[in-house]
Structure 1
Amino acid sequence: MRECQLFACVLLALISQSYVISVSGGPTGKGYCPENEYWNNKGFCCDKCHAGFKLKEECPKNNTRSLCVKCENGTFLETANHYDKCFSCRKCSKANSKELSPCTFRSNRECGCEIGYYFNNLSPSDWECSRCRKCGPGQLTVAECGKKQNTKCQCKENHYAVPGKNLCLPCAECQDDCPDVCKSTTPPNILGSSKPTSPPGLIHHILVPVCACITVLAVGVFLLYEGIRLWKKKSRALSSQQSTPVSDDQTLIITVAPDKELDESVPFTNQPCEPELNGKLPDCIPREIKIHEFFYFVLDEVPIGRFKELVRRLGVSEQNIDRAEQDHRNSKDAHYQMLKVWSDSGSGGGNNVLPWHRIQMFVDTLKDMYLVNCADNIESRFLSKDPSTSN
């Protein structure tokens, strides 16, 4: 038991000795002291004096306190220290100066300047109250004078600064400070000049007519293309109508202007059948398209990236679109399901049959999306088809 106590004492002594070495710096010399202490010449840490106090006597040994005294009137120390003297407070005795805050044993006196002057630091240890600048003729005040800032001035618009003088004069000729004067709106005399130039105004007068001509040409080409496309569409439809035999339950109505030959401008009806009242015959040719044939043709024509936009325009809800994508990992199967939802929401046609007016609505929607080629292909395949050959 006694041997255990002896071993414990030796262990505690070794630990305390290592702690003293680590604090005092050990054999390497000057050691580390906490922020509120300093390393003195005797080889150990002493506590610092608080702000506003100076050191009178260092701590005599480790773990003892130093003797500090308060700074005398007219002196100060702003931070914790181990100085034996305090700093003298600044005096606000300069011309046009005034005291902003008094001297205390913890802070220096703060000086400012009277109205019309600003605090100007001449060097780290010297200052003065300088008179505020006044903006001269042709100048505007950007920042007022006050505290440690002088008045800031700048020239008015279309004015330039005169070197060495506190004024700005109006621009009269082209120079660096007068860029607006350098702009000319009069075209040069090309015939009388040996070196013709092209000012910005001349370039503007050339570009505007050129751009206008290009725009008119583009619109003309577009209208020509649309006219040819519509003419071909009507020609195909007219050819299909002329080759269709008229039966007892079908009537083809063609309206021809008086004294004019039948041409591409002849209007014709190609609308879904709606029987009229009083027993009259329908005024159109009924067309029915098998759903699966139409759907697979559409899946090959419409770009995949535009398909969701198409079915949204057709009235398919976001819930049905999400359900179709969740039920089918293959995008083509999901798109087929979206088309099925659209066809089921319509009326007419019967089982697995799509009526003509639903096809026309589909084509019009594609045209609204600027997918004109897709719309033309679908229109050519299904809407211009001879009803006698439909399945």
Structure 2
Amino acid sequence: MRKCELYAYVLLVLISQSNTILNVASETVKKNCLDIEYWNEKGFCCDKCHPGYKLKAKCPERKTRSECEKCEPGTFLDRLNYNDNCFRCKECNKPHSYETSPCTSTSNRVCECEPGYYYKKLDHSSYECKECKKCGSGQHETVKCNGEQNTKCECNKNHYPVKGKNTCEPCDKCQEGCPDFCISSTPHNPVKSARPTSPPDTLPQILVPVCACITVLALGVFMLYEGIRLWKKKRQALSSQSSSPAPEDQTFIIKVEPDTICESVSFTNQPETEQSGKLPDCVPREIKIHEFFYFVLDEMPIGRFKELVRRLGVSEQNIDRAEQDHRNCKDAHYQMLKVWSDSGSGGGSNVLPFHRVQMFVDTLKDMCLINCADNIENMFLSQNTSASH
């Protein structure tokens, strides 16, 4: 028993190390491309398109050039790229804004705000013109309102700020902003104020390596536990199959394609009229795409999402495009999953075949995201299995 558990743990470690080595080797090959080139999936480097041009067709073989075409009016690309589409120029249509630089194929349109307003960015592509702040009574201006900078004000000398108001009042007692009213006539005693110096705190220096050791140990125990659990699960399944009694009469198994898996139907040598009424209907194992995607987005760790879609075959170009088109992280991840689902076979416009979901779960298990894989499997695969019975 202990030897089998040890073998299972060693096998898991070897698999994870082999995947890491393959990934490093692949990345090393890609790094050999120049800055003006990109990695072609066929196994060689292609030249990028110049600013103002988008990629129309990749280079078909080594020492050939990519086919590029100029961006349409109202769009731009301001750097070397291999994008399929150009970015749309922003519009200077906000109140109190005007255009200072037009949109070209190599540069975005530049907008500024009218005098008395400053440019405030809301996100990567959105902005608004906010009215400049005006200094109140008892204040003076330290920074002028200009460009993306709002006005900054400070209280005049011997004035203090009034809480909740944009004004300052003259000092009449010792308080914040009134240092001249806080001068004490009693001489300062340096002996009383002196405090013994304490040695540097060594507690953080001890806690950091201890916490690191605990984390590594916990991770090792978790991987060992999951490996043993999967091994036991497979062993129980094999033992249950081997221990099940064979039927006395001859059994026939009906098999269908994976996209529409049906329950295996066993029947004995009985008349055809009796058997035809007992055969169950074929229930396709298909899942609605939007339900599956939103469940995955809630379960999947954000920090490992790109690794997942890369393993599923989504290209770096489609990942970058999803992040450019969707500033919201969840929307960008949804678009990456949509690219993956569209690249597969089977299903329909709004459904995902069973075998694609099974591949998704197997990929999560290869990434050691066992809990996430189990939750998705219990939510969709187990329900489809039960539905077919």
Q: TM-score range by the shorter chain?
A: 0.3 to 0.5
The alignment's TM-score, normalised by the length of structure 1, stands at 0.40
Comparing both structures, which one devotes a greater share of its residues to helix?
A: 2
Higher relative contact order (CA 8 A, sep 6+): 2
Q: Larger radius of gyration, structure 1 or 2?
A: 1
